[in-house]
């Protein structure tokens, strides 16, 4: 049985004090919901402060990026070893990193390997662009993104996959539940073909892209969708709490 997950990707928003304020607003209510994995992914500079605030609660912590070397002369980078002390998850391969920071499949693969090596669980983001979607190339693009990201990885220990169609991120134009369910079903098939039934059944696959309190139910009701990676709406306390609460009410059923 896969436990639903809602992860909040705060992106490059919130100063340390704003991050602490937001956590203080949502901490108690989030903690009381025990049938959903709740993951907060604040900016690097707030990880330690947020970790302290959620200590003793059921809320989990994730980073938004990682470098693939464990240590050394890489000015400005953050290593897997550093993150392993602070958090459980790390977002890898987000489309904004692919687009603005030229992250290739090869780099993403190195990052996934480096994270797994120190016990961090990747939240691996994949998804097609608008053009690729229009051209009917969604499955082809996703197959290639999965192939390159997971190349040489024997067992993706606890990894989570987030299907985020690029055209739906930050645009207010979410995919439909049905569309997302179909593609996520395809992703699960691809994981099954690369690994085995057990890995396909235990891997959580989230939807991401303009998820709000108004549309979360549509996604959570689908059989293949195990939760959401939420950007903009995760910065609003009430909105994020509502997303997690609705997931808790609808999303907990036998998923296999």
Q: Which residues of the chain form contacts with ligand PGA (CB under 6 A)?
A: 9, 164, 169-170, 208-211, 229-233
Residues 6+ apart with CB under 8 A from 192: 199, 200
Q: Provide the minimum distance between the beta carbon of 240 and ligand PGA in the complex, in angstroms, as a whole number.
A: 11
Comparison of 46 and 200: residue with beta carbon closer to ligand PGA: 46
Q: Provide the minimum distance between the beta carbon of 211 and ligand PGA in the complex, in angstroms, as a whole number.
A: 5
The answer to whether 164 is a known catalytic residue is yes
Q: Provide the minimum distance between the beta carbon of 108 and ligand PGA in the complex, in angstroms, as a whole number.
A: 15
> Of 129, 128, 123, 99, nearest to 111 (Cα)?
123
Q: Provide the minimum distance between the beta carbon of 208 and ligand PGA in the complex, in angstroms, as a whole number.
A: 4
Q: Provide the minimum distance between the beta carbon of 74 and ligand PGA in the complex, in angstroms, as a whole number.
A: 25
Comparison of 200 and 215: residue with beta carbon closer to ligand PGA: 215
* Alpha-carbon torsion angle 202, 219, 191, 138, nearest 10: -170
Comparison of 50 and 211: residue with beta carbon closer to ligand PGA: 211
Task: Tell me the C-alpha distance between 228 and 210, whole Å.
Answer: 10
Task: Tell me the C-alpha distance between 14 and 43, whole Å.
Answer: 8
Comparison of 95 and 248: residue with beta carbon closer to ligand PGA: 95
Q: Which residue is nearest to ligand PGA (CB)?
A: 231
Catalytic residue chosen out of the listed positions 94, 96, 103, 218: 94
Residues 6+ apart with CB under 8 A from 174: 168, 209, 210, 211, 212, 215
Catalytic residue chosen out of the listed positions 96, 103, 128, 164: 164
Would you say the C-alpha torsion 236, 238, 239, 243 has a positive or negative sign? positive
Comparison of 149 and 200: residue with beta carbon closer to ligand PGA: 149
- The neighbour count for residue 192, using CB atoms within 10 Å, is 15
Take residue 218 and report the two structure tokens written for it: 């549509």
Residues 6+ apart with CB under 8 A from 119: 84
Take residue 61 and report the two structure tokens written for it: 């912590």
Question: How is residue 189 annotated by DSSP?
Answer: H
Q: 87 near 47, Cβ under 8 Å?
A: yes
Which active-site residues does the annotation give?
94, 164
């Amino acid at each position: 049985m896969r436990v639903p997950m809602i992860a909040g990707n705060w992106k490059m928003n919130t100063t340390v004090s704003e991050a602490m304020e937001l956590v203080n607003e949502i901490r108690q209510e989030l903690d009381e919901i025990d049938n959903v994995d709740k993951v907060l992914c604040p900016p690097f500079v707030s990880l330690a402060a947020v970790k302290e605030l959620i200590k003793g609660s059921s809320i989990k912590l994730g980073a938004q990026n990682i470098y693939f070397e464990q240590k050394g002369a890489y000015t400005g980078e953050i290593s897997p070893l550093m993150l392993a002390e602070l958090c459980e998850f790390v977002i890898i391969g987000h489309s904004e990193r692919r687009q603005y920071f030229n992250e290739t499949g090869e780099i993403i693969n190195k990052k996934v390997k480096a994270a797994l090596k120190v016990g961090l669980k990747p939240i691996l983001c994949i998804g097609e662009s608008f053009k690729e979607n229009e051209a009917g190339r969604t499955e082809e693009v996703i197959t290639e993104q999965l192939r390159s990201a997971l190349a040489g990885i024997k067992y993706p220990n606890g990894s989570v996959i987030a299907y985020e169609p690029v055209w739906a991120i930050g645009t207010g134009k979410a995919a439909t539940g049905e569309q997302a369910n179909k593609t996520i079903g395809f992703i699960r098939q691809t994981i099954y073909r690369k690994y085995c039934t057990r890995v396909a059944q235990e891997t959580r696959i989230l939807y991401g892209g303009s998820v709000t309190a108004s549309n979360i139910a549509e996604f959570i009701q689908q059989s293949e969708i195990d939760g959401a990676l939420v950007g903009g709406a995760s910065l609003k306390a009430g909105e994020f709490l509502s997303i997690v609460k609705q997931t808790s009410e609808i999303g907990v059923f036998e998923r296999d």
